[in-house]
């Protein structure tokens, strides 16, 4: 159970507070409700570039990180398809420094031509290193481009291509910042050794007089239901044959999400999982195989990723995966399998969220999803999942018409 307080400023900013007296530090987490899915299809990669530009300095602060370092702190950020998250960690008595800097870059970001060109170069280099020059680096582009035909999840956070990033203008960036970076489109959490009254007072001081705003209301196109299997054979300079599958699944707040998540664990998590027992130990075709889920705001994807052993045949390995999935549906699962995965999930969640900074991130995320108290309710839903629910969700999800498959191998 995570205990917290909430407060909403008159201008719409939502504040969550979590007190932790065992540390001398504090984390300030700002979650902006904007991700790559909010981009114009002709201007992909802008949300991620905006994240980088937020560290470029402001009209009154030359370098954001320098001021934070002088206060004994550090900061970082990340962008996803749904949200952009910024966090600062510093000594609790210097909380006000972080709040001053965050309000400063919200209001007075220094979007000079020089700063924009520098950050464009950084992002383009990241694109090349992680997606173009890395074995299998383009798999997200391939997988999401195959599974989504209309919804903006069809491109990854980095964007569709390098050339588009080069074309962004100062006007494009300023319009994006003005549209999505506002107090009403943000959730803030102050977590650490600071009491609630102090947190409220300081947040009101630095953010209370900012112009009111409401959360951005999305109108994203719904992805049409997939009616036939999709297949792609792709070759590149990679060391092994790999099979990548994706299946359309529910969104993050669906009552079925914990079921799909547990299916991924039953199949692919650990040495006792079905994939490991039946495909790694039971055949000579696989070097590695796992399953995972995309917990996204709109309907996401269930992934199966398999690295084949030397000499293994794509078709035979693909049929072996089908056999395991079909067996789960026809034979079902035991309550023991479910309990084992639920216990592992709850243990991992407990350890992942043990720190004050980690709590700040998840409290903000849950606030955007369904209210911060969802962080405490969700555990019970995992405990309620039944064997029949596993079979029902797996039957719909693993239908052959819902399957997207990529055979990814070395260049021929």
What's the mean pLDDT in 205-224?
93
Residues 6+ apart with CB under 8 A from 390: 259, 262, 263, 266, 328, 332, 333, 338
Decide: residue 211, CB within 10 A, 0-12 exposed, 13-18 middle, 19+ buried.
exposed
- Assigned token pair, 22: 């065992």
Q: State yes or no: pLDDT of 1 exceeds 90.
A: no
Residue 412 has pLDDT above 80, yes or no: no
Mean predicted lDDT score pLDDT of the chain: 96
pLDDT at 215: 85
pLDDT at 61 over 90: yes
In the predicted structure, residue 411 carries a pLDDT above the cut 90? no
Beta bridge partners of 307: 242, 288
50: pLDDT confidence band, cut at 50, 70 and 90? very high
Q: What's the CATH class of domain 230-410?
A: alpha beta
- What kind and span of H or E run contains 8? strand 5-8
How are beta strands 14-19 and 186-192 bridged, if at all? parallel
From 155, 162, 160, 84, select the one nearest 125 (Cα to Cα): 162
Q: Which pLDDT score is estimated for 244?
A: 98
Architecture of domain 5-207: 2-Layer Sandwich (3.30)
Q: Where in the chain is the domain with CATH 3.30.830.10?
A: 5-207, 230-410
């Amino acid at each position: 159970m995570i205990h917290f307080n909430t407060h909403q400023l008159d201008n719409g900013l939502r504040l969550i507070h979590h007190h932790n007296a065992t540390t001398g530090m504090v984390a300030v987490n700002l979650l902006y409700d904007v991700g790559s899915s909010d981009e114009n299809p002709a201007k992909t990669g802008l949300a991620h570039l905006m994240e980088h530009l937020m560290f470029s300095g402001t009209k009154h602060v030359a370098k954001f990180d320098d001021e934070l370092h002088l206060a004994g702190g550090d900061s970082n950020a990340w962008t996803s398809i749904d949200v952009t998250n910024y966090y600062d960690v510093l000594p609790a008595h210097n909380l006000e420094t972080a709040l001053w800097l965050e309000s400063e870059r919200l209001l007075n970001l220094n979007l000079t031509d020089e700063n924009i060109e520098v950050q464009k170069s950084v992002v383009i280099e990241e694109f090349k290193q992680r997606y173009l020059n890395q074995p299998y680096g383009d798999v997200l582009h391939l997988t999401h481009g195959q599974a989504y035909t209309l919804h903006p999840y069809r491109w990854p956070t980095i964007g569709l291509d390098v050339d588009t990033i080069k074309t962004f203008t100062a006007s494009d960036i300023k319009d994006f910042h003005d549209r999505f970076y506002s107090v009403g489109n943000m959730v803030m959490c102050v977590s650490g050794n600071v009491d609630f009254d102090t947190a409220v007072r300081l947040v009101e001081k630095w953010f209370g007089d900012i112009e009111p705003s409401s959360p951005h209301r999305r109108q994203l196109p719904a992805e049409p239901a997939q009616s036939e299997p999709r297949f792609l054979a792709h070759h590149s300079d990679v060391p092994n044959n790999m099979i990548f599958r994706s299946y359309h699944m529910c969104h993050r707040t669906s009552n079925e999400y914990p079921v799909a998540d547990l299916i991924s664990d039953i199949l692919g998590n650990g040495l006792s999982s079905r994939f490991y027992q039946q495909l790694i130990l039971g055949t000579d075709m696989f070097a590695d195989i796992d399953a995972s889920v995309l917990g996204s705001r709109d309907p996401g994807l269930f992934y199966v990723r398999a690295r084949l052993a030397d000499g293994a045949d794509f078709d035979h390995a693909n049929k072996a995966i089908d056999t395991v999935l079909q067996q789960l549906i026809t034979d079902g699962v035991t309550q023991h399998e479910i309990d084992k995965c639920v216990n592992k999930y709850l243990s991992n969640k407990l350890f992942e969220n043990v720190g004050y900074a980690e709590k700040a991130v998840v409290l903000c995320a849950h606030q955007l999803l369904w209210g911060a108290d969802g962080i405490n309710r969700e555990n019970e839903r995992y405990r309620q999942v039944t064997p029949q629910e596993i079979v029902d969700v797996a039957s719909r999800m693993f239908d052959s018409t819902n399957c997207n498959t990529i055979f990814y191998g070395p260049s021929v």
